[in-house]
Amino acid sequence: MHAAAKSPFAPAAFPQLPPIPGVRLAAAACGAKYRGRDDLMLAEFAPGAAVAGVLARTAVPGAPVQWCRRLLADEHEHAPRALLVNAGQANAFTGEAGLADVRASCEAAAAALGCKPEEVFAASTGVIGEPLPLSKITGAAPQLAAALREDGWESAAKAITTTDTFAKGATARAEICGQPVNINGIAKGSGMIAPNMATLLAFLFTDADVPRDMLRELLAAANEKTFNSITVDGDASTSDICLLFATGRAGNSKPRESDLDDFRRALNAVMRDLALQVAGDGEGARKLITVEVHGAEDDRAAKAVAMSVANSPLVKTAVAGEDANWGRVVMAVGKAGARIDPARLAIAIGGVTVARGGQRVENLDEAPLNEHLKGREISIRVDLGLAAGGARVWTCDLTHGYIEINASYRS
Amino acid sequence: MHAAAKSPFAPAAFPQLPPIPGVRLAAAACGAKYRGRDDLMLAEFAPGAAVAGVLARTAVPGAPVQWCRRLLADEHEHAPRALLVNAGQANAFTGEAGLADVRASCEAAAAALGCKPEEVFAASTGVIGEPLPLSKITGAAPQLAAALREDGWESAAKAITTTDTFAKGATARAEICGQPVNINGIAKGSGMIAPNMATLLAFLFTDADVPRDMLRELLAAANEKTFNSITVDGDASTSDICLLFATGRAGNSKPRESDLDDFRRALNAVMRDLALQVAGDGEGARKLITVEVHGAEDDRAAKAVAMSVANSPLVKTAVAGEDANWGRVVMAVGKAGARIDPARLAIAIGGVTVARGGQRVENLDEAPLNEHLKGREISIRVDLGLAAGGARVWTCDLTHGYIEINASYRS
């Protein structure tokens, strides 16, 4: 296992996550790949929970993604009762055997919990192409079930990490129809991070009582502006899974669409917090980059431009080198495929406009610019000057650390 | 200027390029950016030459790209009489002033050569957004014109480089209607290399007499399989220019389409040679990677998959680390957007099939694989098993050298 330097964006401590009534968690070291750390996580949900999910859009989805897709499509049958996650092997590109393995894992968890396999969601992260260490996972299921507790958030968040340098958690409170509810989230990065969706596992838990259809809409919308708005390397995983479980134990009255504004805000906040933690823990990251695009033809064009900038190795190495090489931003804008009028294009770094009207700003005082680039949070703002489309995405710089980690990850 | 280690793919010496009747070249150090090296190149063509070109498809084309586009579109007026190229400043995103500068440069060259400005093609490479050092370029024009010679190939090739670690030249002979003709080419890379077209300058010169329409078709077709089939970092430049000048001095009889097979082969060979030199001199490159895709729905889908693999930072760092992490190839295939059936997908590295039928090959002997990965030329072959579409592209590994060069290029 590679011991990368801790991200400068790691919090001093894992945040305090409150209990979510109806959710219990446990973690264990099944020893499938890592030594001296937990690598298996089980969450249990009380009967009657609802679930929504967003899954990897790759053409080669891993076995757990296929399993979750089946469960999410299964319209009326099963409320979710559990979530089983292992780190180390992705169980992707493992054929029929991989599908059998995910089913067998869920059967073991179901047996330990006294529910049905089809009530157990699964996610895996790690090396692609290696088989799941099935007996180690099934063997650990009874121990996991026995260890379930309401305050297991930090160990659960740690157990699902791979090259992450810190465990990621977030929480927020909201009110639905006057009733307080909580949303907790845990997530892992930190390579193969690109939309469709961001290469990651993210799990949200709430005690709110929200009908499944509304839950799905809320998750999809929040996902687009959070996990689908970060990128580390433009590489999209086979194994992305984001699930939102709602136990309904808060006892709020059944909400209408208009009752969910505060819940929507809180869900967005938790997911954005986690997304920024993932981007800030991007492999080798020393700086977090926010790319904002305004004035595009529409939001879609704005996001294409923002992602083109955020994925450009030349922009990301310039930021790593603390070099205000905004010409590379121009290049990345130009290759995005969106409608651009160079004469209306303006670029600002750290709030300082460096180029507008198709050329550089004359006699620019570079001192505040250079000061900004020495910081940890870098802002790049592009105004296309065409219409009202906008987007904001986050990425990290491209450093020697990324090479270090990824030239030696598998072995 | 950054002194990067010489690419392991640098030839022992610049190849011997024969004179091309009707072409003379000169190089000079105008001192605009670099010290102690030439950074300005002039080629002169005898009257009556023909030209074809392929230009950057970016939405923010540099001023020389706009200038060349105008000249190439100018259907009947001017035969090309000269080509002026500077390295150090790209004259891109420089607004109306940039367009005026390229015109003024061409006027200076035209005055020194006794031709019209509209007969002078121009290309620039270097930092985006900085103005052209106009007086240094115009001031050097008379000196360049006085120094023109038939054997100036190597110094011309050197003068157009930026972060290249070696000068790139290639040559081939062909016959048209029984008459021998020569094709010489020079090119520069070596970052912002991605198709649409590959971020580079490439100039081809031949004494063949080929009508302009045929020349254009030949160049476009060869470009698609050579310069548009390499990628270093997926970053597409504002300044790509590939021009083919034909002086007609070989005196071959006017060819029909069917007379051009041998010329087409030779042109492809020169452009492919140069493209591989550019890929092998990709910033920080230690290994040249050939990605072949077969069995795709069509050639376009095959190329999308090949480029997705060739542009994946995770694949490229795995190759740098000599790690047979073929799961990352699966990931890159999956995100390409092409139709894929995982159960038909096969992957071979160095001729060793590592995965097929949707999973890894059991009991694989990894020894020959690891031996292959220690070498300099790495082969990745993907068979989609669907139909007959195919593509071959080239890239290089992603190393600390890339970060080193690009975190410090501008300053």
DSSP annotation string for A236-249: PPS--EEEEEE--T
- What residues of A are in contact with residue B343 (Cβ under 8 Å)? 95
Strand A377-383 to A288-296 pairing: parallel
Nearest CA in chain A to B407: A321
Q: What is the pLDDT of residues B374-396, one digit of tens each?
A: 999 999 999 999 999 999 999 98
Cβ–Cβ below 8 Å for A58 and B191? no
Residues of A in contact with B287 (CB under 8 A): none
Check: CB of residue A394 under 8 Å from CB of residue A287.
no
Query: Token digits for A153?
Result: 């958030």
Percent of chain B with pLDDT over 70: 94
Does the structure show a pLDDT above 50 at B44?
Answer: yes
A191/B330 Cβ within 8 A? no
Beta-bridge mates of residue B291: B380, B393
Contact A331 B58 (CB under 8 A): yes
DSSP character string of A264-305? HHHHHHHHHHHHHHHHHTSTT---EEEEEEEEESSHHHHHHH
CB B280, CB B396: distance < 8 Å = yes
Lowest mean pLDDT among A4-13, B64-73, B110-119: A4-13
Facing A314 at nearest CB: one of B235, B311, B359:
B235
Instruction: Give yes or no for a contact between B105 and A343, defined as CB atoms under 8 angstroms apart.
Output: no
The mean pLDDT value for B362-367 works out to 89
Compute the Cα dihedral for B225, B226, B232, B237 and give only its sign. negative
User: Which pLDDT tens digits describe chain A residue by residue (411 residues)?
Assistant: 345 678 888 899 999 999 999 999 999 999 878 888 999 999 999 999 999 998 888 778 889 999 999 999 966 568 999 999 999 888 988 889 999 999 999 999 999 999 999 999 999 998 888 889 999 999 999 999 999 999 999 999 999 998 888 999 999 999 999 999 999 999 988 766 554 443 588 899 999 999 999 999 999 999 988 888 887 766 667 778 889 999 999 999 999 999 999 999 999 999 999 988 988 888 788 899 999 999 999 999 999 999 999 988 889 989 999 988 888 898 889 888 899 998 999 999 999 999 998 888 989 898 999 999 999 999 999 999 999 999 999 999 988 887 777 776 554
Q: Which long-range contacts (CB under 8 A, 24 or more apart) does A213-219 make?
A: A214/A255, A214/A257, A214/A260, A215/A50, A215/A51, A215/A52, A215/A244, A215/A246, A216/A52, A218/A52, A218/A244, A218/A260, A218/A263, A218/A264, A218/A267, A219/A52, A219/A53, A219/A54, A219/A244, A219/A267
Contact A408 B323 (CB under 8 A): yes
Check: CB of residue A395 under 8 Å from CB of residue A283. Answer: no
3-class SS at B367?
helix
The length of chain B is 411
Would you state the pLDDT for residue B76? 54
8 A C-beta contact, residue B182 and residue B17: no
Calpha distance A158→A171 (Å, rounded): 16
Q: Identify which has the larger pLDDT, B129 or A52.
A: A52
Min Cα separation B112/chain A (Å)? 30
Round to whole Å and give the CA distance between B392 and B272. Answer: 11
| pLDDT the model gives residue A373 | 94
Determine which one of B94, B162, B199, B206 is catalytic.
B199
Instruction: Compute the count of residue pairs across chains A and B with CB atoms less than 8 Å apart.
Output: 229
The confidence score (pLDDT) of residue B163 equals 83
What tokens were used for A341? Answer: 């009028």
Please report the ipTM that was assigned to this predicted complex: 0.79
Considering only CB atoms, which chain B residues are within 8 Å of A402? Answer: 313, 317, 403
Three-state SS for A191? coil
Query: In degrees to the nearest 10, what's the CA dihedral of A120, A124, A129, A132?
Result: -60
Please say if the pLDDT value at position B197 is more than 60. no
Which pair of structure tokens corresponds to residue B269?
């060979």
Task: State yes or no: pLDDT of B3 exceeds 70.
Answer: no
Query: Angle A236-A71-A271 (CA atoms, 0-180°, nearest 5)?
Result: 50
Contact status, residue A13 vs residue A284, Cβ threshold 8 Å: no
Closest CA to A168 of A242, A274, A85: A274
pLDDT of B261 higher than 60: yes
In this complex, the residue of A238, A336, A343 whose CB is nearest that of residue B330 is A238
- From B300, B285, B308, B268, select the one nearest B376 (Cα to Cα): B285
SS3 content of chain A, % helix, strand, coil (to 5): 35, 25, 40
DSSP states along B307-362? HHHHT-HHHHHHHHTT---THHHHHHHHTS-S---GGG-EEEETTEEEEETTEEPT
- Chain CA centroid to CA A14, Å: 17
Give the phi and the psi of residue A17 in degrees, each rounded to 5: -100, 125
SS3 A160: coil
The pairing of strands B346-349 and B377-383 is: antiparallel
Amino acid at A41: M
* Catalytic member of A165, A199, A206, A247: A199
Q: What angle do CA A52, A57, A58 make, to 5 degrees?
A: 140
Distances (CA, A) of B354 to A160, B153, B359, B365, B374: 28, 45, 9, 9, 17
Q: What's the length of chain A? A: 411
Query: What distance in Å separates the CA atoms of residue B45 and residue B32, rounded to the nearest whole number?
Result: 26
**C-alpha separations of B81 from A71, A206, B30, B48, B294 in Å:** 69, 73, 22, 8, 43
Question: Are the beta carbons of B92 and A330 separated by less than 8 Å?
Answer: yes
Least CA distance to A233: which residue of chain B?
B313
d(CA A218, CA A268): 9
Q: How many Cβ atoms sit within 10 Å of the Cβ of residue B35?
A: 8
* CB of A275 closer than 8 Å to CB of A230: yes
Q: Does A406 touch chain B (CB under 8 A)?
A: yes
CA B101 to chain centre: 25
Of A321, A331, A359, the CB nearest to B94: A359
SS3 content of chain B, % helix, strand, coil (to 5): 35, 25, 40
The position carrying tokens 């230690």 is B286
Helices A134-146 and A95-113, axial angle in degrees (round to 10): 20
Cβ neighbours of residue B211 closer than 8 Å, sequence gap 6 or more: B50, B254, B255
Confidence of residue B75 (pLDDT cuts 50, 70, 90): low
**Which of A128, A287, A339 best probes binding to B when mutated, by most B CB atoms within 10 angstroms?**
A128
Say which DSSP state B37 is in.
Answer: S
Of A61, A325, A403, the CB nearest to B410: A325
Q: In A74-116, which residue ranges form alpha helices assigned H by DSSP?
A: 95-113
B51 three-class SS? strand
Average the pLDDT over B207-219 and give the result.
93
For residue A23, the cross-strand partners are A45
Four-point Cα dihedral A102, A108, A112, A114, nearest 10: 70
Least confident of A44-53, A367-376, B190-199, B401-410: B190-199
| Residues A332/A338, Cβ–Cβ less than 8 Å | no
Contact present, B60 and B81 (Cβ < 8 Å): no
Confidence at residue A196, expressed as pLDDT on a 0 to 100 scale: 41
pLDDT for res B327? 87
Q: Which of residues 116-175 of B touch A (CB under 8 A)?
A: 127-130
- Specify the amino acid at residue B71: L
Both tokens assigned to A87: 């780190």
Q: Is the dihedral of CA A94, A96, A99, A104 positive or negative?
A: negative
Which residue in A has a C-alpha nearest to residue B197's C-alpha?
A: A335
Longest Cα pair distance anywhere in chain A, in angstroms?
72
CB of A333 less than 8 A from some CB of B: yes
**Interface contact flag, B398 A399, Cβ < 8 Å:** no
Comparing CA positions, the residue from B404, B315, B17 lying closest to residue A318 is B404
Task: Report how far residue A408's alpha carbon sits from residue A275's, in angstroms, rounded to the nearest whole number.
Answer: 25
* C-alpha dihedral (B320, B322, B327, B329), degrees to nearest 10: 50
Count other Cβ atoms within 10 Å, centred on residue B346: 18
**A342 chain-B contacts, CB cut-off 8 A:** 59-60, 93, 95
Residue B199: active-site member: yes
- For residue A403, the model assigns a pLDDT of 78
pLDDT score recorded for residue B134: 95
State the pLDDT at residue A5.
Answer: 78
* B224 half-sphere exposure, CB direction, 13 A CA radius: 10
Residue B189 to residue B200: CA distance in whole angstroms: 5
Domains along the sequence of chain A with CATH: 23-280 (3.60.70.12), 288-406 (3.10.20.340)
Among A311, A314, A335, whose Cβ lies nearest the Cβ of B196?
Answer: A335
Do A58 and B355 make contact, defined as CB atoms within 8 angstroms?
Answer: no
Residue B345, amino acid: L
pLDDT surpasses 90 at B195 = no
Q: What per-residue confidence (pLDDT) applies to B9?
A: 85
Residue type present at position B41: M
**Hey, which residues 303-332 in chain B have their CB within 8 Å of chain A?**
311-314, 317-318, 320-321, 323, 325-328, 330-332
- CA B383 to chain centroid, in Å, comes to 27
